[in-house]
Structure 1
Amino acid sequence: MANYLKQFQLPQPFDFHRGGAINQGILAYETWGELNSDASNAILLLNGLSADSHAASHGANDTSGWWEFMIGPGKAINTDQWFVICASSLGSCKGSTGPCSQNPKTGEPYRFNFPDLCIEDIARAAVLLCQSMGISQLHSVVGPSMGGMTALAVLLNHPNYVKNLIHIASGMASPPFSTAIRSLQREAILKDVNFNQGHYSADSWPEEGMKFARKIGMLSYRSAKEWRERFPRSLKKIPNQPFGVEFPVESYLEYHANQFIHKFDPISYLYLSRAMDWFDGNSYAPKGSNPLANLELEKALVIGSETDLLFPTLLQKELHQSLTEAGCDSQLVITDSIQGHDAFLVDKDCFSQLVSNFFLKL
């Protein structure tokens, strides 16, 4: 993987949407396929909160990416035809500059001295990356979850830069339930005694806070219907301590939380989570007006899942309506996937077919 990870130097200074700036900022990114002579086959993939640039492998000896089934030769996003770009989000801990990165002024991590991060900052950094490659207009932007918000921020702030959109499991703004979930996750991290106002270390990591945050998130990523099918009503074992793990679903949450806690930086999690809650695409127009009215978008595919708790289908329906009213040829698909918000990562056949059909018709 390391051979395919590239770095893009952001302009100095890089100014943030809510104020503040950084110097020597970078985006870590990867690409698949070949950019054609007129740079007209570029697809920008914008990722979710905890995902990174490694969306797919680059060959048989490379590790699988987070969207492995979707990207590659002959797959739904066919890299024999398309040039795909995916960057780790600005603010993340996956190679791009974020609050856990070293501040060149002090030689210490930024921590809470990192500027307030907005989805608009993530979008602008990604656009600058694409422009640095000579791409004057993206053929398509694909964005699931937080990436869907980032895609909308690209459209709203660069209205002529994208021809087509695939928007998955997201919306113009976070609904109250989604914000409440992320608020609890942030609180769990902040209240961990080892968090220490951001001055934690590898030896004193806020493990409990990150574990609880991940468990809360996992409950919202999947659906009650899936839990019923995967975890029948039965005891797993007799706990070795009072109120210890005894049900299969508890064991599942514990295992996956433990797998996550050292793979993502706590402060980056806080910043990206808050950026999602701050984003409001509707604020780009007066109340009652369509914020997407001035877009020059040709086609869009908006996908939601009936079982998604974080971004319920009302949000995708409203976005589809706004796109249609703006003159975009928009298609809305609501799947019956049982995997909730994570369906785009898990329901391979369904989502591969939807994305493949969209690109075949362009």
Structure 2
Amino acid sequence: MTEFIPPGTRYFDLPSPFVMKRGGELRGARIAYETWGELNAAKDNAILILTGLSPDAHAAANEANPEAGWWEAMLGPGKPIDTDRWYVVCVNSLGSCKGSTGPASVNPATGELYRLDFPDLAIEDVANSAAHVIRELGIERLACVIGNSMGGMTALAFLLLHPGIACSHINISGAARALPFSIAIRSLQREAIRLDPNWNNGHYDDERYPESGMRMARKLGVITYRSALEWDGRFGRVRLESDRPDEDPFGLEFQVESYLEGHARRFVRRYDPNSYLYLSRSMDWFDIGEYAGGDAAAGLSKIRIDKALAIGVHTDILFPLQQQQEVADGLRAGGADAEFLPLESPQGHDAFLVDIARFGPAVSGFLATI
């Protein structure tokens, strides 16, 4: 298997050894990142973006890579995260297959891919590696750290483990801990991958790749990323034009099935299955209450920042709205001027990627106050 690295990606080497939360360590590891805008002389205009499970560091077009990024509508000159004002850094998560060291990387001790020899990965490890990049860039204090989905978890760990590293925080569809429903969905996704015979205990290659398992995992994910309201409005019960072939009587019949199949097939060969397993499990393990006797609210109250905004949507079933309410309440208990903003978007967990008409003004409005 190969890594899937966008052109123009840059790297910082992690300290060697890089000690991980659950007892492992990495040697010769690196973190991929990209930047936009200019860091001012005071170095006080920097924003860090922490991503969800699958994105790379290429959040938007830049000089090194003019291709549109995964958050293109949100980031750039004159956009909600205005790079005429802000110096923006986006890191690719440790454990990913998009440039940062992960299971698809070569283990320098053996010369072979890590595969399942990669150490147990925690959200805290992702946070600590991102903090290393910020320090290497010479930034003592970020103006803001923005975390989306899994990145919202990472941001909370980042702020708790590195006091004073940021003035403010925007938590977008994130959470202080995984809920049972989300754990259950991710467990099924991992099971689908591991039960594919081609997974072969992590020893697959391009010729024998666990495509069926990854397709099923991705379909499950996409179903939970959007809402039933959107599925109904977008597809209804519309059937495909062609009849099912006789040799596949239970094949694709509805447009929604065809959409999921196409989406899954575009994803499977662009993401490493072992990386998917490791990052998925890291979310299930994360609970900021570990730092306060099991109490998530008390764990959040240990974070010290000036201002915060927690944004969620009513139709998000994967990171439901009460989790963003919990984040805002907990940060407020710690002394932050924290606001909770529930949005009415019909597009579920993925709304922050596509519903820029709602999320853009919320983000730009908050950034205008710092």
> For this structure pair, what is the TM-score category when the shorter chain's length is used for normalisation?
over 0.9
> What's the CA shift string for 1:294-325, capped at 9, x where partnerless?
33201101000000010111111111111111
1:20-59, aligned counterparts within 5 Å?
Answer: 20-59=24-63
In 2, Cα distance between the equivalents of 1:12 and 1:233?
55
Distance 1:141 1:61, change over 3 A: closer
In 2, Cα distance between the equivalents of 1:222 and 1:296?
33
Aligned structure 1 segments of 4 or more residues deviating by more than 6 angstroms: none
1:113 maps to which of 109, 114, 117: 117
| Equivalent position of 2:76 in the other structure | 72
| Equivalent position of 1:139 in the other structure | 143
Amino acid in the other structure paired with 1:332: F
1:252 maps to 2:256 = no
In 1, Cα distance between the equivalents of 2:78 and 2:223?
34
Amino acid in the other structure paired with 1:145: S
| Equivalent position of 1:306 in the other structure | 314
Q: Which runs of 5+ in 1 are unaligned?
A: none
1:349 maps to which of 347, 353, 357: 357
In 1, Cα distance between the equivalents of 2:225 and 2:28?
35
Distance 1:347 1:2, change over 3 A: closer
Distance 1:176 1:61, change over 3 A: closer
Amino acid in the other structure paired with 1:298: D
TM score, norm. by length of structure 1: 0.98
In 1, Cα distance between the equivalents of 2:336 and 2:6?
39
> What's the CA shift string for 1:211-235, capped at 9, x where partnerless?
0000000110000000110112232
Amino acid in the other structure paired with 2:280: S
2:183 maps to which of 163, 179, 184: 179
In 2, Cα distance between the equivalents of 1:217 and 1:138?
32
Matched residue SS, 1:138: coil
Distance 1:41 1:61, change over 3 A: closer
1:233 maps to which of 230, 237, 243: 237
In 1, Cα distance between the equivalents of 2:64 and 2:213?
37
Amino acid in the other structure paired with 1:139: A
Cα drift, residue 2 of structure 1: 5.8
Query: Do the aligned residues in 1 keep the contact of 2:239 with 2:253 (CA within 8 Å)?
Result: yes
Q: Which runs of 5+ in 2 are unaligned?
A: none
Distance 1:273 1:73, change over 3 A: same
Cα drift, residue 3 of structure 1: 5.9
Query: Do the aligned residues in 2 keep the contact of 1:159 with 1:294 (CA within 8 Å)?
Result: no
Cα drift, residue 39 of structure 1: 1.1
Matched residue SS, 2:298: coil
1:272 maps to which of 264, 271, 279: 279
Select between 257-266 and 229-238 the one with higher mean Cα deviation.
229-238
In 1, Cα distance between the equivalents of 2:316 and 2:293?
29
Count residues with an aligned counterpart: 362
Two-structure CA RMSD over aligned residues (Å):
1.4
> What's the CA shift string for 1:236-291, capped at 9, x where partnerless?
13211211101011000011001000000000000000000000011111245611
In 2, Cα distance between the equivalents of 1:117 and 1:60?
30
In 2, Cα distance between the equivalents of 1:234 and 1:146?
33
In 2, Cα distance between the equivalents of 1:135 and 1:259?
37
